[in-house]
A and B are shown apart, each in its own frame.
Chain A
Amino acid sequence: MIQMKNVYKKYPNGIVALNGLNVEIDQGEFVYVVGPSGAGKSTFIKMMYREERPTSGQMFVDGIDLATLKNKKVPMLRRQMGVVFQDFKLLPRLNVYENVAFALEVIEESPSRIRERVLDVLDMVGLKHKARMFPTELSGGEAQRVSIARSIVNKPKVVIADEPTGNLDPETAWDIMNLFEKINATGTTILMATHNKEIVNTIRHRVIAIEGGLIVRDVDGGDYGYES
């Protein structure tokens, strides 16, 4: 699903974020990405959806070569994946239904199909009854569930989540994790950057630790490994 070979990333200001990183992630895996701030975790995540481009090295996501992918083709890549952020990134002037439908409108899906899919995923995240509410009327957990619904509405093979529980209280964070588990159970690959020690140590999955732009630890069912 995801292959990186000797990926090296240097920013224009001279900072080396990734220093020859190698990794392979299979379809259907659930992977935590951990590590101290500023270790290259964010860059690693951003590279998945081509927000950042490798300076050198090879990188494939779902067979697409990201090192040579033209800017014009980036939208096609992003339609194959879902992205979830710490700050939800919902549009405040659209209601819950519209926020989710937005992802399908953008790719010019037919209205009847949009309706069907949006109601499906809202049901799955348990927010069908709040479809007409606006993001400002939702709790943090609900907002994050909407953003997860949006990320999976076009049935991506992989969901990239950057600290999805970072802004949530512990109890809500568990709800969100259950949701990711559910999505993973349908065969979707999940790549999740997190600082949440408790979650990583309880719901065991493969853990990749990044430090100094390199993977320093890669253990199936490993623990968080840092003091929180």
Chain B
Amino acid sequence: MKARTLWRHFRESLKSLGRNGWMTFASVSAVTVTLLLVGVFVLIMMNLNKVADDLENDVEMKVFVSLETDEARKQSIEETIVDIPEVESAVYSTKEEELADLVLDFGNELDLFQQNNPLFDVFYVKASNPQQTGNVAAEIAEIENIEKVEYGKGKIEKLFNFLNAGRNVGLVLILALLFTAMFLISNTIRITIVARRREIEIMKLVGATNWFVRVPFILEGMWLGLLGSIIPIGLVAALYYNTLEFIQPKLSGELFQLLDFTPFIYQVGGLILLMGVFIGVWGSFMSIRKFLRV
């Protein structure tokens, strides 16, 4: 296709937006609302993911070594643990170090335990995939001279289940919203196509190729998508900025953090733009198909 022709299609598509003023407005609003919802969902989803990752990465097992174990045995226990394929790291901490930590947290009243330390030597173990924690813990518990393994059993499984369900629900909602928007755009374009049916018929009679007929409508769909994505991008950015301002200070020192404003918001903005263009283009592509069979 020649540049001149493309330019002609360009002008045609813009003219058509103006000619179909109210329909343009209607579909741009529909896209705006949809993309706004999608944008908010993406914000929530991505942050949920981030929080989940943070929490997951913080999950570790505390492996208590029974009191009578000698140094050589401790050494071989460490090797056994590290040899488990799903184990990412194992950090040894003596009971003296453990007590020092407690003293640091709870104060000097605990100093009296210095004479007779009731604590165990422990390994802090992380699974390479946090979702494997339960299995790894069970495996470690089998090792000889291990007193017990602690890892917030039950709570962690619930958290993982909750996070996974959240991700899936969010994904389904986003897809449903995108589908709705595509349907709306496709309907709008169909109306403008019906109005220009005769034109399409004549174009085909004088020897226009299908692409020649199609391109202006596809461009029109693209404009609808682009226009519809402007407001959502602005609103989503503003919304996220304010949310961070409000929430970020309260999260300092917590195990999990929200995603930073940049580059996250550029990614979300780009995503909204792309989705707008995609639903616009695809919507018009779908609705023009049957009008080309002349």
Task: Give chain A's interface residues, CB within 8 Å of chain B.
Answer: 49, 51, 72, 74-79, 83, 89, 91, 102-103, 105-108, 111, 150, 154
Interface centre among B8, B209, B212 (most CB of A within 10 A): B209
Q: For the side of the interface on B, what is the size category? A: 10 to 19
Nearest to A92 among chain B residues (CB) is: B198
Given known A-B contacts A105-B8, A106-B212, A49 and B2 have beta carbons under 8 A apart:
no
CB < 8 Å A-B pair total: 49
Q: Is the CB of B206 within 8 A of A150?
A: yes
Cα(A111)–Cα(B202), bound, Å: 20
Chain B residues numbered 188-203 whose CB sits less than 8 Å from any CB in chain A:
198-199, 201-203
Interchain residue pairs A-B with the least CB separation, the first 9: A79-B207, A78-B207, A103-B206, A106-B208, A75-B207, A75-B209, A108-B5, A106-B206, A89-B202
Cβ distance B2 to chain A, nearest Cβ, rounded Å: 5
Cα(A49)–Cα(B206), bound, Å: 10
Q: Which of B1, B2, B204 contacts A75 (CB 8 A)?
A: B204
Chain B residues numbered 207-266 whose CB sits less than 8 Å from any CB in chain A:
207-210, 212
Interface 1/0s, chain B 1-34, versus A by CB < 8 A? Answer: 1101100100000000000000000000000000
B205 at the interface (CB under 8 A from A): yes
Given known A-B contacts A89-B198, A91-B199, A91-B202, A111 and B207 have beta carbons under 8 A apart:
no
In the assembled complex, 19 residue pairs joining A and B whose CB atoms fall closer than 8 Å, in A order, are A49-B205, A51-B294, A74-B204, A75-B208, A76-B207, A79-B207, A83-B205, A91-B198, A91-B202, A102-B202, A102-B203, A103-B206, A105-B8, A106-B207, A107-B207, A108-B1, A108-B5, A111-B4, A150-B206
Task: Give chain B's interface residues, CB within 8 Å of chain A.
Answer: 1-2, 4-5, 8, 198-199, 201-210, 212, 294
Cα(A106)–Cα(B201), bound, Å: 12
Q: Which residues of B contact A150 (CB under 8 A)?
A: 206
Chain B at the A interface: SS class: helix
Q: Which residues of A contact B210 (CB under 8 A)?
A: 72, 75
Q: Is the CB of A78 within 8 A of B206?
A: yes
Q: Which residues of B contact A78 (CB under 8 A)?
A: 204-207
Cα(A103)–Cα(B8), bound, Å: 14
Cα(A23)–Cα(B74), bound, Å: 102
Q: Which of A89, A108, A154 contacts B205 (CB 8 A)?
A: A89
Q: Which residues of A contact B5 (CB under 8 A)?
A: 105, 108
Nearest to B8 among chain A residues (CB) is: A105
Cβ distance B268 to chain A, nearest Cβ, rounded Å: 41
Cβ distance A94 to chain B, nearest Cβ, rounded Å: 9
Given known A-B contacts A75-B208, A89-B198, A108 and B203 have beta carbons under 8 A apart:
no
Q: Which residues of B contact A72 (CB under 8 A)?
A: 209-210
Cβ distance B38 to chain A, nearest Cβ, rounded Å: 37
Q: Which residues of A contact B8 (CB under 8 A)?
A: 105
Cα(A226)–Cα(B111), bound, Å: 124
Cα(A129)–Cα(B116), bound, Å: 115
Q: Which residues of A contact B209 (CB under 8 A)?
A: 72, 75
Cα(A78)–Cα(B207), bound, Å: 5
Cβ distance B127 to chain A, nearest Cβ, rounded Å: 58
Q: Which residues of A contact B199 (CB under 8 A)?
A: 91
Given known A-B contacts A51-B294, A89-B201, A108 and B207 have beta carbons under 8 A apart:
no
Interface centre among B198, B203, B205, B208 (most CB of A within 10 A): B205
Cβ distance A56 to chain B, nearest Cβ, rounded Å: 21
Cβ distance B271 to chain A, nearest Cβ, rounded Å: 36
Nearest to A85 among chain B residues (CB) is: B205
Q: Which residues of B contact A108 (CB under 8 A)?
A: 1-2, 4-5
Nearest to B201 among chain A residues (CB) is: A89
Cα(A51)–Cα(B202), bound, Å: 12
Q: Which residues of A contact B208 (CB under 8 A)?
A: 75, 106-107
Cα(A105)–Cα(B201), bound, Å: 15
Cα(A102)–Cα(B4), bound, Å: 14
Cβ distance B44 to chain A, nearest Cβ, rounded Å: 47
Q: Which residues of B contact A103 (CB under 8 A)?
A: 206-207
Given known A-B contacts A75-B209, A111-B4, A106 and B203 have beta carbons under 8 A apart:
yes
Cβ distance A164 to chain B, nearest Cβ, rounded Å: 14
Q: Which residues of A contact B1 (CB under 8 A)?
A: 108
Q: Which residues of A contact B294 (CB under 8 A)?
A: 51
Cβ distance B6 to chain A, nearest Cβ, rounded Å: 10
Given pairs A102-B203, A107-B208, 9 additional interface contacts (CB within 8 A): A72-B209, A75-B208, A77-B207, A78-B207, A103-B206, A106-B208, A108-B1, A108-B4, A154-B207
Cβ distance B14 to chain A, nearest Cβ, rounded Å: 15
Cβ distance B251 to chain A, nearest Cβ, rounded Å: 59
